[in-house]
Amino acid sequence: MMNGQGGGVFGDKSPAQIINSDKKFSDVAGNKEPIEEISEIVDYLKNPKRYEEAGARMPRGILLGGPPGTGKTLLAKATAGEANVPFYFVSASNFVELFVGMGAKRVRQVISEARKNAPAIVFIDELDAIGRTRGSGIGGGHDEREQTLNQLLVEMDGIKENSGLLFIAATNRTDVLDPALTRPGRFDRVITVGLPDIKEREEILKLHAKGKRFAQDVVFSNIAKRTPGFSGAQLENVINEAVLLSVRERKQVITLDIIDEAIDRVMSGPAKKSRTITRDELTSVAYHEAGHAVVGIKVPGGNKVQKITIIPRGQAGGYNLMMPEKEKYNYSKSELLATIASFMGGRAAEEIIYGAENISTGASDDINKATTIARRMVTEFGMSDLGPIKYQDESGSPFLGKTLATSSSISNQISHEIDLEVRKIIMEAKNLAYNIIQENRELFELIKTLLLEKETIISEEIDYIAKNLALPPKQEEVKEDAKEIDLDSLITMTESKEEIKE
């Protein structure tokens, strides 16, 4: 429901939407800590007088920070729904217009309207659109965005304590916000809404799976293991893609294969099955992916290989899904080196099979990821011969903002030494990958052969090859054996029944 205050040539209309939220905390899976922090705010909105009599000052603003898709907006709506108060939703970009002064005027309109209906929540989405550090525009000019921010700060200061008016803002970039926004009396409670862990992913999947039909062998805890780093929005998308695929394939229930395809679609896009690929190119991709897999299996501290495919998706000719056995938040130097070696396994495989002069462009993404990790090892983690020193200066120019220009206190000599250390890490990892593949050529060739045969192989098949150094038995043969046994049993049962009748 849109709420406006008339038109006019200058768009004299409140940019806020009044939403009577029907969301509750029960609609939010995971995010237990943020919900606990917000629960007392709900009680405050229901009974502001109680806190006033106790002499407590409740926060005027809550800032929800974190990656995209983690449920920041949903949390704000659930807060309004639990407290049963009006919810004013506004995107920060709607405040800023071409005409000077319109942003400040719209801030006054929204807050004036919310005051009349207090207790109420004013939710500002993408706060960084107006809340960036002042003086960060090109040339440091006092632009319309700064006027809008100044007006918001003034309005928040002008709100009486325990008035029943609460500001909630969401942003993906808390690092670029003006410090005046987060001082006490404004957005003085900052809550980080992070990516869900494995248990929270399972809860989110189950929440979105309600009312949908799944096969009996679908175990959501296993799906949660397959989706590390997924946000709540991505997990919802996995379930939705699975439902759409089941309808497309006219299946009555959602099977594991469908969910597997849905995860791949969310990660890398739909498969490009119609793309014409020569046998030689497909073989090259199979060798490349087999190289990743062999290094991942054999390198100490490596991640478990979950799935390999040579079916093109997005920009990739194939991909290799490797994940740790258990969810981790801290990584040792040996684990990071093992990860880099796994990334370099594809390039090493190409050199072994085709020679250094015939390597392909397929390793570009691997090189990018490996270089990023290696550089962070040197400049952030202190895992090189340069010692435990941080070599990245994140202080931004006062006129160009934190991301437009950064001042560096690193000398040219140190910068050169950093590059040498990064190169050393990458080359050592590539040589390690090369040696591992050479020492395990039989495993390497078997994985390549099965990839060319099936195009996609999963962890159970990979484990079988690694343990037995043989291709796993074909499913068709197993099924036919089962059919023969069933037929013999059926004949025996039939004959015995006929004897009884006689």
The residues annotated as belonging to the active site are 289
The verdict on whether residue 72 carries a ligand-binding annotation is yes
The verdict on whether residue 196 carries a ligand-binding annotation is no
The verdict on whether residue 406 carries a ligand-binding annotation is no
DSSP 3-state of 59: coil
Cα torsion 260, 264, 269, 275 to 10°: value is: -80
Q: Which helix (H) or strand (E) holds 91?
A: strand 87-91
The verdict on whether residue 66 carries a ligand-binding annotation is yes
- The answer to whether 378 and 418 have CB atoms below 8 angstroms apart is yes
The verdict on whether residue 15 carries a ligand-binding annotation is no
CB-based contacts of 358: which residues, under 8 Å, 6+ apart? 350
The string of DSSP letters for 11-42 reads T-S--PEEE-----GGG--S-HHHHHHHHHHH
Q: State how far the Cα of 272 lies from the Cα of 182, in Å rounded to an integer.
A: 47
Question: What is the arrangement of strands in the sheet containing 61-65, beginning at the earlier edge strand?
Answer: 17-19, 87-91, 120-125, 165-171, 61-65, 189-192
The bridge status of strand 405-406 relative to strand 189-192 is unpaired
- The answer to whether 191 and 34 have CB atoms below 8 angstroms apart is yes
The verdict on whether residue 416 carries a ligand-binding annotation is no
Q: State how far the Cα of 405 lies from the Cα of 399, in Å rounded to an integer.
A: 9
The verdict on whether residue 255 carries a ligand-binding annotation is no
Q: Name the nearest CA neighbour of 232 among 34, 365, 468.
A: 34
First CA to last CA distance, the chain:
80
Q: Name the nearest CA neighbour of 167 among 219, 96, 238, 89.
A: 89
Q: State how far the Cα of 64 lies from the Cα of 231, in Å rounded to an integer.
A: 15
The verdict on whether residue 228 carries a ligand-binding annotation is no
Q: State how far the Cα of 238 lies from the Cα of 251, in Å rounded to an integer.
A: 17
The pair of structure tokens assigned to 151 is 């007006």
The verdict on whether residue 292 carries a ligand-binding annotation is yes
The pair of structure tokens assigned to 417 is 């030494």
Cα torsion angle, 298, 302, 306, 310, sign: negative
Residue 277, CA atoms < 13 Å, CB-side half-sphere: 20
The verdict on whether residue 449 carries a ligand-binding annotation is no
The verdict on whether residue 208 carries a ligand-binding annotation is no
- Binding-site sequence positions: 66-73, 288, 292, 366
Residues flagged as binding site for Zn(2+): 288, 292, 366
Annotated binding site for ATP: 66-73
